[in-house]
Structure 1
Amino acid sequence: MMIGWGIQDETKKGLVRMFSAYRHAENSTLFAAALLGMFGIFLEGLFYFGIYRLMAERSQKQAHNFRTGIIGYIVFGPCGFHVPICMMLFLYRSLTEAGAENVLETVEQFADYFIAPSLILFWIFFLILEGTQISAFLKGKTPYPKRCFVFSLPVGMLIAKLFNIFGNHAFVNAIDCAWISVGNIWMFAGLLFMMKKAQAE
Structure 2
Amino acid sequence: MTKEEFQAALVKYAATIEKIRQSAHELHRSVNQLYGKNLPYSYHLDKVVDEVREFGHEVCASEEDVVPMIFGGYYHDSIEDARLTYNDVMKVARQFMNDKQALMATEIVYALTNDKGRNREERAGEKYYEGIRTTPYAPFTKLCDRVANITFSCSATDEGNKHMKEVYKKEVPHFLAAINPHSDDPRFGVPMDLVIKISEQIINDMEREEWLNGLG
Q: TM-score range by the shorter chain?
A: under 0.3
**What is the TM-score normalised by the length of structure 2?**
0.25
Higher helix content, 1 or 2: 1
**Greater RCO (CA < 8 Å, at least 6 residues apart):** 1
**What is the TM-score normalised by the length of structure 1?**
0.26
